[in-house]
């Protein structure tokens, strides 16, 4: 049976060229980059070279790049770090209603520590309402943290527009760009942000290696205490093979990027057009907004997402219902509900996320199989049968 992986927003396959670039950094170059001997110097040069590659691609200074373990960790270091460093100036944080748990739960945790957090609503396409954000600003506001693109819908947020507002009001601005770096052109200085999180495994790099851009001059309070690595912001021995892999993955992801984006978008457009033509009562979420080229969030009305996921999995097709992090608990996605999607439709929503290894044959297989899976599930769905009776 064919196996089709359409869950690239959860994680991606490591590119073999990335793995190849990493391999010497286990058994050949294995010194600690902070040791003074020749083994350490070798490792130090590789670390420096990886930092140079990544910062050149992102158009930032080497001193502005902190290597971390995960995107969630980058979000924690940024949000908690700013909260600690600036708490004498104020205790108010602004975020959105659609953040990844890595930012959302960190904000909620800070609320328990006495910070006040405003959760800005989104419109029906999943775009943050800038006017609401403006209204939420107080003189105590120290941080705005807002994702660049949403992981469930792929909807891209108006970061540049918002950074003008945060600059005018002298508020630190962090963006979770884990879904955009490596997929669309992302330059933190052009976006106008002060901090930016990204993660290698979302762009065909290794899992467990990520980064945080911290603009020169931005102070961060300590979240992890230890030695002097990564400007003391992220102490602990750096994952050298990991950062070498991340640098290689970012190089590969950003080469001919426009072309690859266009191809992916064409493939998605073919997929969505065919799905709409072949399956009744479905809706594509965030379609009128700017989206990542490979993400498609579809609500299949009168069905349960989990049963669709399992039905597709049985056919070798891997997708996600809600976000990977929330699919353990069967609550409807907070992202979809924030967009005004009804609870029943949110429950029947599936995220198809394409990646660079998907082919047209993959999509042709999915548009053949998915309608059959949906039809079969609907014949046994009480919700669907009730809907048919009412018609």
Which one, of 183, 193, 347, 173, lies nearest residue 249 by Cα?
183
Q: In whole angstroms, what is the distance from residue 77 CA to residue 232 CA?
A: 11
Q: Is position 325 annotated as part of the catalytic site?
A: yes
Expressed in percent and rounded to 5, the helix, strand and coil fractions of the chain are: 45, 15, 35
Minimum gap (Å) between residue 177 Cβ and ligand PLP: 8
Measured from the Cβ of residue 216, the count of other Cβ atoms closer than 10 Å reads 9
- Give the Å distances, CA to CA, from 178 to 20, 103, 146, 182: 24, 11, 11, 9
Q: In whole angstroms, what is the distance from residue 29 CA to residue 43 CA?
A: 6
Q: In whole angstroms, what is the distance from residue 376 CA to residue 346 CA?
A: 20
7 vs 362 by CB, closer to ligand PLP: 7
**Contact positions vs ligand PLP (CB under 6 A):** 70-72, 100, 102, 147, 151, 176, 178-179, 199, 201-202, 210
Spatial neighbors of 313 by CB under 8 A, at least 6 apart, are none
72 vs 97 by CB, closer to ligand PLP: 72
Minimum gap (Å) between residue 203 Cβ and ligand PLP: 11
212 vs 373 by CB, closer to ligand PLP: 212
Which one, of 178, 218, 220, lies nearest residue 81 by Cα?
220
The active-site residue, picked from 325, 337, 344, 383, is: 325
Minimum gap (Å) between residue 242 Cβ and ligand PLP: 11
Minimum gap (Å) between residue 151 Cβ and ligand PLP: 4
Please classify residue 88 by burial: count the beta carbons closer than 10 Å to its beta carbon, then call 0-12 exposed, 13-18 middle and 19+ buried. Answer: exposed
202 vs 378 by CB, closer to ligand PLP: 202
Q: In whole angstroms, what is the distance from residue 161 CA to residue 159 CA?
A: 5
71 vs 305 by CB, closer to ligand PLP: 71
Task: DSSP for 12-32, please give it.
Answer: -PPPHHHHHHHTHHHHTS-S-
Minimum gap (Å) between residue 72 Cβ and ligand PLP: 4
Active site (catalytic) residues: 325
């Amino acid at each position: 049976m064919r196996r089709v992986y359409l869950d690239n927003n959860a994680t991606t396959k490591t590119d073999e060229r990335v793995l190849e670039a990493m391999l010497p950094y286990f058994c050949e170059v294995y010194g600690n980059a902070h040791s003074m001997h020749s083994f350490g110097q070798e490792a130090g040069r590789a670390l420096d070279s990886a930092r140079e590659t990544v910062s050149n691609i992102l158009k930032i200074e080497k001193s502005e790049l902190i290597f971390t373990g995960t995107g969630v960790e980058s979000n924690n270091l940024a949000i908690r770090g700013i909260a600690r460093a600036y708490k004498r100036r104020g205790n108010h944080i602004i975020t959105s209603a659609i953040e990844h748990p890595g930012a959302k739960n960190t904000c909620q945790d800070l609320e328990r520590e006495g910070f006040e957090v405003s959760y800005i609503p989104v419109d029906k396409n999943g775009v943050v309402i800038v006017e609401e954000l403006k209204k939420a600003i107080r003189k105590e506001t120290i941080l705005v943290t807002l994702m660049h693109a949403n992981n469930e819908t792929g909807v891209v947020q108006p970061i540049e527009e918002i950074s003008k507002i945060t600059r005018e009001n002298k508020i630190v601005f962090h963006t979770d760009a884990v879904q955009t770096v490596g997929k669309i052109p992302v330059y933190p200085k052009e976006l106008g942000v002060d901090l930016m999180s990204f993660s290698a495994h979302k762009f065909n790099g290794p899992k467990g290696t990520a980064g945080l851009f911290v603009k020169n001059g931005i102070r961060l309070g300590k979240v992890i205490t230890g030695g002097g690595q990564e400007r003391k912001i992220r102490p602990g021995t750096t994952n050298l093979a990991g950062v070498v892999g991340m640098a290689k993955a970012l190089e590969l992801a950003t080469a001919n990027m426009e072309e690859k984006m266009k191809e992916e978008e064409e493939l998605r457009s073919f997929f969505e057009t065919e799905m709409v033509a072949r399956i009744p009562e479905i809706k594509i979420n965030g379609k009128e907004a700017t989206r990542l080229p490979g993400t498609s969030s579809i609500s299949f009305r009168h069905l349960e997402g989990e049963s669709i996921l399992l039905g597709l999995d049985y056919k070798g097709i891997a997708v996600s219902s809600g976000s990977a992090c929330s699919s353990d608990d069967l609550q409807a996605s907070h992202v979809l509900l924030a967009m005004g999607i009804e609870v029943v439709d949110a429950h029947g929503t599936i995220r198809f996320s394409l990646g660079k290894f998907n082919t047209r044959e993959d999509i042709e297989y999915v548009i053949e199989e998915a309608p059959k899976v949906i039809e079969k599930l609907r014949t046994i769905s009480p919700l669907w049968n009730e809907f048919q009776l009412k018609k």
